[in-house]
Amino acid sequence: MPEVSETWGIRVASSPQHGAGHMKRCLALAAQLTGGVRFFLDCDLWAETARQRGFNVEVEGSPCLSERAVGALRDNRLRGLIFDGYELRAEDGLSAMDIGCVVHLDDGVASFPAHCKINPASSPRLGEPCSQRVLGGLEHALLDHSFVAANERARVNPKSKTKNGRHLLISMGARDSKNVTATVLDVCRDLHCLEGVRVILGAHADHLDAVQKQVAEINQASLVVDCQDMIAEYEQADLALGAGGISLLERLCCGLPSLIIAQSDNQQGNVKTAMEAGAIAFLGESEQLKPSDIRTRVETLARSETVRAEMRAAGLNLVDGRGAARAGASLQRVLEDHENGRLSI
């Protein structure tokens, strides 16, 4: 039997239709794991990015199958597997659990077998058995380590009071399949309370060409495609209108007040937690948007320095950028418990 060359494998949804959130959080977690990490991707889209971060990569060639990942575990090349994706097969998770330690990055949408689950939007239920232990709560938000410094800067350098909420960031996810960006841009076209509008989209966004034309028609608007420094964008903006996924967690960590439009069911947990803490304002589901509501809420938040300051403080306290490090340390203990027979299957 060959010697183990890496500790963890990460099987992650990485096709263009899945957006960037899955990969971003897996890369953040991988950087905090002890031992080597090998990524198993749907396709080549994110392969070069993962390799540039120092990780080995294999391509499954499918959004559903995990044959290479489970095979690596079976061949003793890995000690544990982390699964992240809604189309992945539960039977692959069960097969992996018979061989090694299995972790699921869980958004509360798809049930998947695992020894341990990471879900920042939830907390472990009282009395939950150890075979279904959960690393829950926003203290486990999986962000790149660079957000630790961003959170610290935001705490000691509050936003200037002279800007008065004039610069809006629109960040509806890298893909924005429902083209919510277009609706928001139409509303912001003639909002006199704004001095600038910055739009963030991915190169594989479904409606990128149409948004580019729309932005070109608005004097104070600009578009960034495949932004390489989101922290700088968060630090330059005064308020944001965005989705409720990974980008919401990033904005909370940077203290950027946000109006949230939920794009999918998997974002509901993050939105609920942040809203209850007073860190965001919720505009509703993307299918229920009313331009008049967007206009009113943007104007109100832009003109209310007090409300923005309260949201900013709440967000900074919810997410500190250290969630991936906490999760990585916990997974090392989970792995040791599993291998020492202290973690039931």
Asked if residue 285 and residue 177 are part of one domain, the reply reads yes
Say if residue 158 is in the same domain as residue 44. no
Residues 14 and 137 both lie in one domain: yes
CA-to-CA separations, 344 to 75, 103, 160, in angstroms, rounded: 22, 13, 53
- Indicate if the alpha-carbon torsion angle 54, 135, 262, 61 is positive or negative: positive
Return the pLDDT at 129: 47
Q: What values do phi and psi take at 39, rounded to 5?
A: -95, 140
Is the same domain home to 235 and 213? yes
One domain, residues 54 and 188: no
**How far apart are the C-alpha atoms of 251 and 234, rounded to whole Å?**
7
**In percent, how much of the chain has pLDDT > 70?**
93
Is residue 1, in this structure, part of any structural domain at all? no
Asked whether residue 301 is domain-assigned, the answer is yes
CA distance 30 to 72: 17
195 and 101 in a single domain? The answer is no
pLDDT score of 173: 86
Mean pLDDT by 10 residues, the chain (345 residues): 75 88 96 96 96 96 96 96 95 96 89 92 56 82 97 85 74 88 89 91 91 92 94 96 92 96 82 92 84 91 93 96 96 92 64
* 120 touches 91 (CB < 8 A): no
The verdict on 154 and 127 lying in the same domain is: no
Burial pattern 93-123, b for ≥16 Cβ within 10 A else e, equals bebbbebbbbbbbbbeeeebbbbbbbbbbbb
The conformation of residue 165, written as its DSSP 8-state character, comes to S
Domain with residue 20: its CATH number is: 3.40.50.11190
How many folded domains does the chain comprise?
Answer: 2
33 plus 182 within the same structural domain: no
Query: pTM of the entire structure?
Result: 0.91
The reported pLDDT for the residue numbered 225 is: 96
Domain membership of residue 157 (yes or no) is yes
Contact 189, 218 (CB under 8 A): yes
Specify the pLDDT at position 332: 94
Look at residue 189 in the predicted model and tell me its pLDDT: 84
Position 345 in a domain: no
Q: What is the CATH number of the domain that holds 210?
A: 3.40.50.2000
Q: Does residue 67 fall inside a structural domain?
A: yes
The helix/strand count (H/E) of the chain reads as 13, 13
57/22 same-domain check: yes
User: Residues 298-328: pLDDT tens digits?
Assistant: 999 999 999 999 999 999 999 999 999 999 9
pLDDT at 290: 86
Per-residue tokens: 84: 């992240």
Asked whether residue 41 falls in the same domain as residue 160, the answer is no
Check residue 131 and give its pLDDT. Answer: 43
Residue 2 lies in a domain: no
- Asked, for residue 40, whether it belongs to a domain, the answer is yes
* Residue 344 belongs to some domain of the structure: no
- Rounded Cα–Cα distance for residues 90 and 106 (Å): 13
**Are both 30 and 51 inside the same structural domain?**
yes
For residue 101, what are the β-bridge partners?
80
Domain span at residue 190?
A: 146-318
Q: Are 122 and 109 in contact (CB under 8 A)?
A: no
Task: Specify the 3-state DSSP secondary structure of 236.
Answer: helix
Q: What is the DSSP letter of 124?
A: P
Residues 109 and 179 in one domain: no
Buried b (16+ CB within 10 A) or exposed e, 174-186: bbbebbbbebbbe
